[in-house]
């Protein structure tokens, strides 16, 4: 191959990698958007249309979050067997069709069934999509963080899109429109995958991927195994607590704003914009964390993020009016900032061959606690009001802080 041909192929691979990364980012955006549509629909519409209280309605979201967790490990296994790219195509089409079907629900049981189907396909993204995000990369902090921002914007857009569509087209369109968009993206993605090799999709020669992603922390020595177990233990413990924090803050934020911000959330559309702004600003915390992770040890970064969660959750307990918005931005910056840290830790101590399976375990833990958080929110809200939720979150954040001190001080950036 001539030098010009080699340069042309390299340029083409780089362009292909950027496009593939865009698809992965869009997938993360849609994954979180779909999982939170019902939270706004329940708070703003169904409490009136179906004559049920908020505490009575939100447990019907539980089957979806259980599926979101339970099908994570099967998704990782299927990805290893049939190809990660193929599973991402299934994700786009499947979750879109499930969302459209959910729009047809006329009872709580029917909507719970639809949310369960959404959760089954949503479970594909994290063990498969995040593994593809890490594919062939020596420095992963900013890449994981930017992908995480897209996921966070999906969270933010869920409240905004749902609130806007409720005001102008009805709650069913909040499921139909993103569902059809996801199916269209899935068709385009599947066609593209069929015409490119995995190496081309990731911008690398297929024979070079393993060389770039060799595990720098060998588990074949006693020291390596000790490091692996120690870091994995921290990942799993903070993942469990982080799942409670993430789900509680993102699912309950529309209710928090409705109750504690006064006239600032005077309509469904305005509430959606407020939630969008808080989530969008909060998602920027991942970029700052990603920048720091690529330049040093995760330990001080993780400790700082955890302490900020404790502070802002504590301040929110008694806050009202505009202060709720200020503190909400603070705790969302910290809560979203934690997300890329665990994925980067997995990328540093787990080799490529096992990464999907370890990520599947990690996300099974976090998504299981997320599923448990939904009835927890209902239980706490029914007995102590929404402010009591932040007492619990401050305690959970303190537990995360303790765990972060278990990380080794010298887990430096790769390369």
Residues 6+ apart with CB under 8 A from 350: 215, 228, 358
Look at residue 347 and tell me whether its pLDDT is greater than 80: no
Note the pLDDT of residue 51. 84
Residue 2 has what pLDDT? 55
Mean pLDDT of the chain: 79
Q: How confident is the model at residue 201 (pLDDT cuts 50, 70, 90)?
A: low
- Please give the pLDDT value at position 41: 84
Inter-helix orientation angle 125-134/141-168, to 10°: 140
Q: Is 281 exposed, middle or buried (0-12, 13-18, 19+ CB in 10 A)?
A: middle
pTM (two decimals): 0.69
pLDDT tens by residue, 54-84: 778 878 888 898 898 888 888 887 887 778 8
Q: What is the pLDDT of residue 52?
A: 83
Percent over 90 (pLDDT), the chain: 20
Q: Maximum CA pair distance of the chain?
A: 72
pLDDT at residue 202 greater than cutoff 60: no
The helix (run of H) or strand (run of E) holding residue 275 is helix 268-293
End-to-end CA distance of the chain: 30
* Range 14-31 average pLDDT: 86
pLDDT of residue 216: 45
How many alpha carbons lie under 13 Å from residue 208 in its C-beta half-sphere? Answer: 11
Answer yes or no: are the C-beta atoms of 100 and 149 closer than 8 Å.
no
* pLDDT of residue 360 exceeding 80: no
> Which position has the higher pLDDT, 388 or 13?
388
CA gyration radius for the chain?
21
Residue 240 to residue 16: CA distance in whole angstroms? 36
Task: Collect all residues with Cβ–Cβ distance below 8 Å to 191 and sequence separation of at least 6.
Answer: none
Residues 45 and 340 sit within 8 Å (Cβ to Cβ): no
- Alpha-carbon span 308 to 285, nearest angstrom: 12
Please identify which residue in the block is written with the tokens 């995995």: 198
Q: Is the pLDDT of residue 131 over 90?
A: no
CA distance 397 to 27: 29
Q: Considering only 43-57, 74-88, 363-377, which range has the smallest mean pLDDT?
A: 363-377
Question: Mean pLDDT across the stretch 218-243?
Answer: 74
* Mean pLDDT, residues 328-352: 81
- Read off the pLDDT of each residue in 151-179 and give the average, rounded to a whole number: 83
User: Once rounded to an integer, what is the mean pLDDT over residues 135-162?
Assistant: 76
CA distance 316 to 409: 32
Predicted pLDDT at 132:
85
Q: 264-290, pLDDT tens digit by residue?
A: 766 767 777 888 888 888 878 888 888
**CB neighbour burial string for 94-119, b if at least 16 within 10 angstroms, e if fewer:** bbbbbbbbbbebeebeebbbbbbbbb
Instruction: Answer whether 136's CB lies under 8 Å from 209's CB.
Output: yes
How far is the C-alpha of 114 from the C-alpha of 106, rounded, in Å? 11
133 secondary structure, DSSP code: H
DSSP-assigned states of every residue in 25-58: HHHHHHHHHHHHHHHHHIIIIIHHHS---HHHHG
Q: Is the pLDDT of residue 208 over 50?
A: no
The contacts of residue 121 (CB under 8 Å, 6+ apart) are: 90, 91, 94, 95, 98
**Confidence at residue 352, expressed as pLDDT on a 0 to 100 scale:** 62
68 near 35, Cβ under 8 Å?
Answer: yes
Residues contacting residue 110 through CB under 8 Å, at least 6 positions apart: 104
Q: Which whole number is the average pLDDT over 91-105?
A: 94
Q: For residue 366, what pLDDT band results from cuts at 50, 70 and 90?
A: confident
Q: What's residue 351's pLDDT?
A: 64
| DSSP H/E element including 311 | helix 298-316
**Within 10 A of 325 (CB to CB), how many other CB atoms are there?**
18
Length of the chain equals 415
Looking at CATH, the fold of the domain delimited by 3-404 is given as Growth Hormone; Chain: A; (1.20.1250)
pLDDT score of 399: 93
Tell me the residue ranges of DSSP E strands in 216-351. none
Question: Residue 218 has what DSSP assignment?
Answer: -
Label residue 132 exposed, middle or buried (CB < 10 Å: 0-12, 13-18, 19+).
Answer: buried
Flag whether pLDDT at 215 surpasses 50. no
Distance CA 286, CA 288 (A): 5
């Amino acid at each position: 191959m001539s030098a010009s041909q080699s340069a042309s192929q390299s340029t083409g691979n780089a362009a292909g990698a950027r496009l593939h990364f865009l698809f992965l980012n869009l997938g993360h955006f849609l994954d979180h958007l779909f999982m939170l549509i019902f939270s706004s629909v329940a708070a703003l519409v169904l409490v009136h249309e179906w004559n049920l209280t908020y505490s009575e309605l939100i447990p019907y979201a539980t089957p979806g979050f259980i599926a979101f967790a339970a099908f994570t490990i099967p998704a990782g296994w299927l990805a290893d067997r049939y190809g990660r790219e193929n599973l991402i195509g299934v994700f786009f089409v499947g979750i879109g069709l499930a969302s459209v079907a959910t729009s047809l629900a006329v009872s709580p049981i029917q909507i719970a069934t639809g949310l369960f189907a959404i959760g089954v396909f949503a479970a594909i993204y994290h063990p498969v999509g995040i593994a593809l995000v890490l594919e062939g990369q020596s420095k992963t902090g900013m890449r994981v963080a930017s992908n995480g921002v897209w996921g966070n914007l999906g969270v933010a857009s869920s409240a905004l899109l749902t609130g806007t569509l409720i005001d102008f087209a009805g709650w069913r369109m909040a499921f139909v429109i993103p569902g059809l968009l996801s199916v269209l993206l899935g068709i385009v993605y599947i066609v593209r995958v069929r015409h490119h090799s995995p190496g081309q999709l990731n911008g690398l020669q297929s024979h070079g991927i393993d060389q770039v992603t060799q595990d720098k922390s060998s588990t074949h020595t006693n020291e390596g195994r000790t490091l692996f177990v120690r870091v994995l233990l921290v990942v799993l413990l903070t993942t469990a607590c982080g799942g409670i924090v993430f789900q509680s803050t993102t699912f309950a934020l529309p209710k928090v704003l409705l109750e504690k911000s006064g006239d600032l959330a005077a309509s469904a559309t305005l509430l959606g914009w407020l939630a969008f702004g808080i989530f969008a600003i909060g998602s920027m915390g991942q970029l700052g964390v990603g920048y720091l992770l690529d330049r040093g040890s995760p330990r001080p970064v993780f400790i700082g993020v955890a302490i900020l969660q404790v502070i802002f959750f504590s301040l929110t307990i008694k806050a009202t009016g505009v202060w709720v918005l200020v503190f909400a931005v603070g705790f969302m910056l910290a809560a979203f900032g934690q997300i890329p840290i665990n994925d980067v830790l997995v990328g540093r101590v787990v080799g490529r061959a096992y990464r999907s399976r370890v990520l599947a375990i990690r996300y099974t833990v976090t998504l299981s606690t997320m599923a448990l958080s939904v009835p927890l929110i209902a239980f706490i809200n029914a007995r102590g009001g929404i402010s009591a939720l932040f007492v619990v979150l401050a305690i959970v954040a303190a537990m995360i802080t303790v765990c972060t001190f278990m990380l080794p001080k010298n887990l430096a950036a790769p390369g």
